[in-house]
Amino acid sequence: MGRILAIDYGRKRTGLAVTDTLQLIPGGLATVSSHELLKYLEDYFRKEPVERLVVGLPKQMNNQPSESMKYIEPFVRSIQKKWPDLPVEYYDERFTSVLAHQAMLEGGLKKKDRQNKALVDQISAVIILQSYLESKR
Where along the chain do its domains lie?
A: 3-136
9 pLDDT more than 70? yes
Give the mean pLDDT of the chain: 87
Question: Residues 67-113: pLDDT tens digits?
Answer: 778 899 999 999 999 999 999 999 987 666 666 667 666 677 676 76
If phi > 0 it is left, if psi is from -120 to 50 it is alpha, else beta; for residue 54 that is beta
Q: Residue 79 corresponds to which amino acid?
A: I
This prediction's pTM: 0.86
Higher pLDDT, 56 or 100: 56
Does domain 3-136 bear CATH number 3.40.190.10? no
Residue pair 37/125 in contact by the 8 Å Cβ criterion: no
Of 125, 106, 105, the closest CA to residue 115 belongs to 105
Predicted confidence band of residue 116 (pLDDT cuts 50, 70, 90): low
